Amino acid sequence: MDRIIIRGGNRLSGQIPISGAKNAALTLMPCALLTDEPLTLRNLPRLADVDSFGHLLNELGASTAIEGTRPSDFGRVMTMRAGNLSSTIAPYDIVRKMRASILVLGPLLGRAGEATVSLPGGCAIGNRPIDLHLKALEAIGAEIEVAAGYVKASAPKGGRLTGGRYRFPVVSVGATENVLMAAVLANGTTIIENAAREPEIVDLCNLLVAMGATIHGIGSDRLEIEGCERLHGATYGVMPDRIEAGSYACAAAITGGDVELTGACAEDMRATLDALVEAGVTVEEKKSGIRIAANGPLRPLTLSTAPFPGFATDMQAQFMAMQCLTEGTSVFTETIFENRYMHVPELARMGAHIEVHGRIAMVRGVEKLTGAPVMATDLRASMSLIIAGLMAKGETQVNRVYHLDRGYERLEEKLQAVGADIERVGDG
């Protein structure tokens, strides 16, 4: 397994190109199942999860073709075509490797009137149930049976979903995406209340509209979808990755650096940028992207994660790493996932002083962090170890970097280009 070695202390300076958003790509790709015409997505990030999703689409009978972009280019162009579906089953051995596979449930129901998808199971950050996905789909006419580790869903008498109304008891990004992708081909209108409002949901709605769907309330927590008979193909650009951008902003801040996040969209990451400003970082919004410049010592923060437009749970680990060297005590409250502090014991091995009490983590700033061999446990925890390693004294070795490869395109290249002493070593 590859490892990443960092020798800390270098100030980051220069430009970091921000890639297409992983969490947008993983909900835009299943839209190819909603039509028999080609769907072309531009600015797709070169990530393991995107490749896995392409394989899943192939399993279902869709073709996928990567169009010519030079290996040195960031982002790819992929054309998918689900002319005829050869299967409506997403098997366990694919779903267990990538939870986002559950996002074929809605489109298969909408297009084929049936779907059999393995239950995704839990992961490091929580047990990640899908009950809200199923309840929302039932509300628009789906008949759902869960047995032997699989969800078996079908439209009434194998025809089309009816449309309906569902109010989410808690905000769920994936469940909102699944019911959206089912509702667009329903035989009726669907109203979703307390819908997730993340920018990736807006990106999904914009693609569906480009494919011929009629959706009202895009960007709000109340969506109204007028179902239609069929959708056509489209060509669409994936939005920039707000979490990747926020992660590199934390890296720039902790190293006292001055970095431009080219292609980043400030509107998508307002809470992240506000937290950086509160910590004393200079944030400058430009046409080409966002400039992040340290401006003296960082200040402690009190942050509580929340659904968009609140502070993103996917940014919690990265901000925690940044605050390890900040004089004073920062307080984090993780309200979304029940086990999203797996980075804490690893940061502690580097000398961080963090106390966890249930959902609350208290970070007391220390003079220095010391490089050490550390273990990545999940995607954003891995990034927090990278961020800490960039400022730790000595060498940090981050193991199990396959977690990182799921969410950060060419991470070491992007950081090397702005002065980090970082390299990837394989075990041969």
Q: Which of 123, 205, 250, 324 is catalytic?
A: 123
Work out how close the CB of 103 gets to ligand EPZ at its nearest, in angstroms, rounded to a whole number: 8
Question: Among 420, 424, 421, 423, which residue's Cα sits nearest to residue 14?
Answer: 420
223, 227, 286: which is closest to 258 by C-alpha? 286
By beta-carbon proximity to ligand EPZ, the closer residue of 26 and 39 is 26
Q: Which parts of this chain interact with ligand EPZ (CB under 6 A)?
A: 23, 26, 100, 126, 128-133, 170, 172-175, 313-314, 336-337, 379-380, 407
H-helix or E-strand containing 251?
Answer: helix 242-254
Write the CA distances from 346 to 179, 254, 343, 358, integer angstroms: 38, 18, 5, 18
- Return contacts of 143-148, CB within 8 angstroms, 24+ apart: 146/119
What is the rounded CA–CA span in Å between residue 245 and residue 260? 10
Question: Considering only CA atoms, which of 407, 24, 22, 19 is closest in space to residue 203?
Answer: 24
Name the nearest CA neighbour of 259 among 271, 272, 245, 273. 245
User: Strand, coil or helix: what is 70?
Assistant: coil
Q: Which residues are 293's β-sheet partners?
A: 258, 282
Q: Which one, 76 or 403, has the nearer CB to ligand EPZ?
A: 403
Considering the complex, state which of residue 389 and residue 407 has its C-beta at the smaller distance from ligand EPZ. Answer: 407
Given the complex with ligand EPZ, which of 172 and 323 has the nearer CB atom? 172
Nearest to 383 by CA among 414, 361, 405, 353: 405
Closest approach, Cβ 297 to ligand EPZ, in A, equals 29
DSSP string, 174-186: HHHHHHHHHHTTS
Shortest distance, position 33 Cβ to ligand EPZ, whole Å: 17
Closest approach, Cβ 421 to ligand EPZ, in A, equals: 26
Please tell me the distance from the alpha carbon of residue 42 to that of residue 38, in angstroms, as a whole number. Answer: 13
In the complex, the smallest distance separating the C-beta of residue 128 from ligand EPZ, rounded to whole angstroms, is 5
CB contact set of 221 (below 8 Å; sequence gap of 6+) = 171, 193, 194, 195, 196, 197
Query: What's the min distance (Å) between Cβ of 100 and ligand EPZ?
Result: 4
Which CB, 32 or 369, lies closer to ligand EPZ? 32
Active site residue 250: no
Catalytic residues: 123
